[in-house]
């Protein structure tokens, strides 16, 4: 609106200028250097609830809420020191005062106008009460949804923990060592999944988690479940310095792969009281991520063939790697070394 107004009195004279202002659809108030109202249009009368006779010659501060009017003369001086068209108070929430004393949110554009009596400022004022209300409603709705999402992730995590506790209970009812270890491994898988949900509600982003933080915390969890071995076997994580975020859909298989490989290292690499180290490394390589789980234990059995594994763990890992759109490979020793390379961005939204 302001841009359409001339920066000086139009050649057709003051009469037509007054008519343009009078019938403008936004409220307009022209103020002189001393802050006195010299012109007000019909819409401004409606917006502020004053007949114009009550405002002409009065201080413009009459239209500004008390708590905001103290600084107004200084702002006005600033405008007249460098008069050019601009929005008023950018970055601040502006409010105006109605005749009945109520306050309402406004947006104000300022335009310098050259007149015979010197430069004046023509303010066009838009009442944004409705927009404010709609925005507040949206913010409330968004807050509710955020709380709900938090709650859902919290419940998923708790439910997984309940299942994990049930397995624990089952394990305590058997004296079969092999069954105990199978149940403990399943518990670790559940914990790895529960942790992704925990990180989602702990963080601010509900679709992605920081993979480095996830793997660090997963390592702590796994170490906790091999407490008695942790004296001779250490577990170290080598993570990138910056954050590397991953979507939930791929964070889960990633966590399950690490769980399988670290479990294997604790189970098979340090037999006969051997001591050593297990390492989880994450590297960003070009547009891919490389995840390595390595140990300095006894190494894989002679003739080990990843393609023909009969046990569940290492059959599961290539399937999970496929879900990530990645390649899973064996590295060379000493010890065992498994590497998984997958694109840092999902190739496309998978159908299922
Ligand atoms: N880090 C390792 N060091 C030495 N040997 C390993 C290592 N990881 C795996 N292996 C060998 O590979 C075999 C297959 O591993 P896999 O995880 O498939 O089976 P598992 O751990 O025996 O049983 P599960 O199905 O419960 O995982 C193991 O039985 C073990 O002999
Ligand atoms: Mg295994």
- Residue at 38 is within a domain: yes
196 with 268, same domain: the answer is: no
Q: Whose CA is nearest to atom 27 of ligand 1?
A: 313
For position 352, what pLDDT does the model report? 43
331 with 234, same domain: the answer is: yes
For position 12, what pLDDT does the model report? 61
Closest ligand to Cα 277 = 1
Q: Which atom of ligand 1 is nearest to the CA of 263?
A: 21
- Residue at 249 is within a domain: yes
For the Cβ of 248 lying below 6 angstroms from any atom of ligand 1, the answer is no
For position 5, what pLDDT does the model report? 42
* Final residue before a domain boundary, out of 111, 127, 143: 127
For position 154, what pLDDT does the model report? 92
CB 211 within 8 A of CB 246: yes
For the Cβ of 314 lying below 6 angstroms from any atom of ligand 1, the answer is yes
User: What's the CA gap between 82 and 166, in Å, rounded?
Assistant: 74
Strands (E) located in the chain: 27-31, 37-40, 86-87, 94-97, 103-115, 118-127, 208-210, 233-238, 245-247, 276-285, 288-295, 327-330, 337-343
Farthest CA pair distance, the chain: 103
For position 347, what pLDDT does the model report? 64
For position 336, what pLDDT does the model report? 96
Closest ligand to Cα 182 = 1
Q: Which structural domain, as residue segments, surrounds residue 121?
A: 11-127
- Residue at 6 is within a domain: no
Number of domains within the chain: 3
Give per-10-residue mean pLDDT for the chain (352 aa): 45 79 94 95 96 96 90 91 90 92 95 92 95 94 91 93 94 94 93 92 86 94 89 94 88 94 95 95 92 96 90 92 93 91 73 42
- Residue at 219 is within a domain: no
CB 264 within 8 A of CB 297: no
């Amino acid at each position: 609106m302001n841009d359409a107004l001339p920066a000086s009195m139009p050649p057709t004279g003051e009469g037509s200028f007054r008519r343009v202002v009078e019938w403008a659809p936004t409220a307009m108030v022209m103020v002189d250097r001393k802050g006195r109202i010299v012109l007000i249009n019909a819409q401004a009368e409606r917006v502020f609830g004053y007949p114009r006779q009550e405002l002409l010659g009065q201080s413009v501060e009459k239209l500004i809420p008390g708590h905001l009017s103290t600084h107004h003369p200084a702002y006005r001086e600033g405008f007249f020191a460098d008069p050019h068209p601009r929005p008023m108070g950018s970055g601040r929430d502006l409010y105006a005062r109605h005749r009945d004393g109520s306050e309402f949110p406004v947006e104000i554009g300022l335009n310098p106008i050259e007149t015979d009596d010197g430069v004046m400022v023509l303010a066009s004022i838009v009442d944004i009460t409705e927009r404010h209300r709609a925005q507040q409603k949206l913010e409330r709705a968004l807050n509710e949804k955020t709380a709900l999402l938090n709650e859902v992730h919290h419940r998923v995590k708790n439910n997984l923990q309940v299942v994990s506790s049930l397995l624990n209970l089952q394990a305590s009812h058997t004296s079969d060592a092999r069954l105990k270890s199978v149940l403990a491994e399943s518990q670790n898988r559940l914990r790895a999944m529960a942790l992704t949900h925990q990180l989602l509600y702990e963080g601010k982003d509900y679709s992605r988690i920081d993979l480095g933080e996830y793997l660090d915390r997963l390592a702590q969890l796994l170490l906790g479940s091999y407490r008695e071995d942790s004296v001779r076997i250490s577990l170290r994580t080598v993570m990138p310095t910056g954050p590397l975020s991953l979507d939930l859909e791929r964070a889960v298989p990633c966590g399950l792969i690490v769980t399988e490989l670290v479990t294997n290292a604790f189970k098979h690499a340090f037999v006969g009281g051997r001591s050593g180290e297990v390492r989880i490394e994450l590297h960003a390589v070009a547009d891919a991520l490389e995840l390595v789980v390595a140990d300095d234990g006894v190494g894989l059995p002679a003739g080990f063939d990843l393609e023909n594994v009969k046990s569940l763990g290492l059959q599961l890992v290539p399937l999970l790697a496929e879900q990530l759109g990645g390649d899973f490979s064996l590295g060379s020793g000493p010890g065992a070394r498994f590497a998984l390379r997958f694109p840092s961005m999902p190739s496309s939204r998978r159908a299922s």
